Amino acid sequence: MKQKRKINIALDGHASTGKSTTAKALARRLGYIYVDTGAMYRAVTLYALENGWIGPGFFYRERLIDALNGLDIGFRYNAETGTSETFLNGRNVEALIRRPEVADYVSQVAAVPEVRRKLVEIQQQIARQGGVVMDGRDIGTVVMPDAELKVFMTASPEVRARRRYDEMRSKGEEVDFEQVLRNVHQRDRIDSTRKASPLRRAEGARLLDNSNMSIPEQIDLILSWVDEVLGKE
């Protein structure tokens, strides 16, 4: 049987819609490479925080922009856990970039055009090999506008806040639901209204509202879309 061609899949959408869980599962099922672009923006944010360039009420953008060329951001596969982990200048920062301090500042860092330019370049280089599932906010619009399959994922803010809240509670974190909901609204607003690559549904992207869908259901739906795309070839 002829080996099926590998396509590229762009997965965009709002925060806490299960993009990364879905993208990881798709990559595993298809034997594709998973690229978590949010992790890259988080790694740059961590770098800015560690250098004291961003904090409550201040952001020394120019310092960060000057340092961008020296930044080495990438992924390495961890065979033990079966996942790929984020590396910043040779250091494994996978756990650090998931911390709430990083989440608090990442939208500001992701709004800097120079940061986006640098990260998009790395992402496009990875996409050139094909067989990539990439999730983020501008994948279908900017990074891979030619991806064979583009999906825009959304769910109601309350459903997304509930998922985020449950996730944080399960890690033993003390959180307040109203605060999580405010954070969801705030991130939506910043991500959709920023000047540089605002979050929007790409032309030709299929809409997936998963407010009332389980993760396995959405994975199956996207896999059926992959079959549809490959069947047309």
* Window 2-21: residues binding ligand DC (CB under 6 A): 15
At its nearest, how many Å lie between ligand DC and the CB of residue 41? Answer: 4
Does the footprint of ligand DC cover residue 147 (CB under 6 A)? no
- Two tokens, residue 192: 């959709």
Specify which residues 207 forms β-bridges with: 152
At its nearest, how many Å lie between ligand DC and the CB of residue 40? Answer: 7
Q: With respect to ligand DC, which residue has the nearer C-beta, 5 or 104? A: 104
| Contact pattern from residue 22 through residue 41 relative to ligand DC, giving x for each residue in contact according to CB under 6 A and a dash for the rest | ---------------xx--x
| Cα gap 233→108, rounded to integer Å | 41
Long-range contacts of 184-193 (CB under 8 A, 24+ apart): 184/15, 184/16, 184/157, 184/160, 185/157, 186/107, 187/15, 187/107, 188/14, 188/15, 188/157, 190/107, 190/108, 190/111, 191/14, 191/15, 191/107, 191/110, 191/137
At its nearest, how many Å lie between ligand DC and the CB of residue 107? Answer: 4
Mutual angle of helices 37-50 and 113-127, in 10-degree steps: 140
Q: With respect to ligand DC, which residue has the nearer C-beta, 6 or 98? A: 98
At its nearest, how many Å lie between ligand DC and the CB of residue 5? Answer: 25
At its nearest, how many Å lie between ligand DC and the CB of residue 114? Answer: 13
* Window 150-209: residues binding ligand DC (CB under 6 A): 187, 191
Kindly give the pairing relationship between strand 9-13 and strand 132-136. parallel
At its nearest, how many Å lie between ligand DC and the CB of residue 150? Answer: 13
| Residue in this structure with the two tokens 């590396």, named with its chain if needed | 87
Backbone phi and psi for residue 18, each to the nearest 5 degrees, phi listed first: 80, 20
At its nearest, how many Å lie between ligand DC and the CB of residue 221? Answer: 20
For ligand DC, the binding residue among 14, 24, 42, 163 (CB under 6 A) is 42
Span interacting with ligand DC, options 64-72, 74-82, 104-112, 167-175, rule CB under 6 A: 104-112
* Residue ranges in the chain assigned as alpha helix (H): 19-30, 37-50, 61-67, 100-110, 113-127, 157-170, 177-193, 215-231
* Window 49-88: residues binding ligand DC (CB under 6 A): none
| Residue in this structure with the two tokens 């301090």, named with its chain if needed | 101
For ligand DC, the binding residue among 22, 86, 107, 210 (CB under 6 A) is 107
For residue 64, give the DSSP letter. Answer: H
Q: With respect to ligand DC, which residue has the nearer C-beta, 104 or 209? A: 104
* Window 122-141: residues binding ligand DC (CB under 6 A): 136-138
Query: What is the contact surface with ligand DC in residues (CB under 6 A)?
Result: 15, 37-38, 41-42, 106-107, 110, 136-138, 187, 191
